[in-house]
Amino acid sequence: MFTELKREAYEANLEIPKQGLAIYTFGNVSAFDAARGVFAIKPSGVPYDELTPDLMVVVDLDGDIVEGSGRPSSDTKTHAVLYREFAGIRGVCHSHSMYAVAWAQACREIPVFGTTHADHLTEPIPVTEPMSDDAIERDYEVETGHQIVQRLRGLDPHEVEMIIVACHGPFTWGTSAQKAVYNSRVLEEIAQMAYLTRTINPIAPPIKETLIRKHYLRKHGAGAYYGQVETPDVIDGLK
Ligand SMILES: [Zn+2]
C-alpha cells in the first residue's frame, strides 16, 4: 500500500552507512507523505545490510503503526514532531556522525567559519539547550522534537535544515528523505572543518557577512547561478 514511500525511506537509509554517517544500527531516516499524513521509517535495531523496503515501518503523526510488522525506530516520535511543526518538509535524518556529535557533546553551535558552511546556510548551525530532568522523564523522544522546534523559533526551517541536539547529535531535514541525508553529510563535513579550524586557531573568527550572503545567494533564491539549470541529484550535488 505504501510501496513507493517505503522504497524512498529504504534507499535514503542505505545512504547513512554509504556516506560514513553511522556504524552498526546507529541512525535513521524517514520519508513523509503529507497527503496521507504518514511517514516510513527504519525499523529499530536492524543493521543496514539487513534492511529491505518491506521492513520499513509506516506510522502516522502520532507515531502509531499504520503498516509494518516490526517496531519503528526509537526516534520515531521526534520525526513526527518535526513533520507536524515544519510545514513542507518531506524527510528527516538522524545520525551519530562523529564531528557533529563532538559539537553536540561540547554543547556548542558551529560558527560560520567559511564558504562551505555559507553555501548551505547563513546562520551558525544551532544547538539546542540541554534537556531538563523533567523533559527526559516525561516523553524523551517527543521532548527532543520540542527542543528542536523551540530552538528553530525565529528561523526558517527551509533555510536552516540542520540542528545539533545538545549532548546527543545531529538532526537534519529537507524536501525529501535523500535531501535530509545530504544535509547530514554536509553538516558532518562542516563540523569537521570547523573543528580543525578551531584546532589551528582557537580564536578564528566567523567570516564576513558579505561573504556569507554572496555564497548563500549563489546557490539559493531567484538570483542563484551555481550549477546547471536542471537540479543535479542532491547527493552528487555535494561540492
Ligand atoms: Zn540518537
**DSSP string computed for 34-94:** TTTTEEEEPBTT--GGG--GGG-EEEETTS-EEE-SS-B-TTHHHHHHHHHHSTT--EEEE
Q: Using the predicted structure, report yes or no on whether residue 233 has a pLDDT greater than 70.
A: no
The residue with greater pLDDT, 30 or 22, is: 30
Assess whether 236 carries a catalytic annotation. no
Separation of CA 88 and ligand 1 centre (Å)? 24
This model's pTM is above 0.85: yes
Q: Residue 188: left (phi > 0), alpha (psi -120 to 50), or beta? A: alpha
- pLDDT (average), residues 190-209: 97
Q: How far is CA 209 from the centre of its chain?
A: 25
Distance 74 CA to ligand 1 centre (A): 9
What is the whole-number distance in angstroms between the Cα of residue 107 and the centre of ligand 1?
Answer: 15
The amino acid present at 13, given as its one-letter code, is: N
Residue 213 CA to ligand 1 centre (angstroms) = 32
- Does residue 156 have an active-site annotation? no
Average pLDDT, the chain: 94
Summarize the confidence of residues 224-233 as an average pLDDT.
69
The stretch 51-63 carries a mean pLDDT of: 96
Q: Quote the percentage of the chain above a pLDDT of 70.
A: 95
List, for residues 38-53, the tens digit of each pLDDT value: 999 999 999 999 999 9
pLDDT (mean) for 170-194: 98
Which domains can be identified in the chain, with CATH numbers?
A: 3-223 (3.40.225.10)
Cα dihedral 134/139/142/146 (nearest 10): -10
Mean pLDDT (whole number) for 69-75: 95
Lowest mean pLDDT among 77-81, 183-187, 215-219: 215-219
Spatial CA neighbour of 126 closest among 164, 169, 171, 97: 164
pLDDT at 232: 47
As a whole number of angstroms, the distance between CA 57 and CA 76 comes to: 10
Mean pLDDT across 186-192: 98
pLDDT, one tens digit per residue, over 91-128 is 999 999 999 999 999 999 999 999 999 999 999 999 99
Across the range 56-65, mean pLDDT stands at 96
Residue 207, all three cell numbers = 567570516
Report how far ligand 1's centroid is from the alpha carbon of 27 (Å): 7
Which of 10, 75, 83, 119 is catalytic? The answer is 119
C-alpha 164/C-alpha 120 separation (Å) is: 15
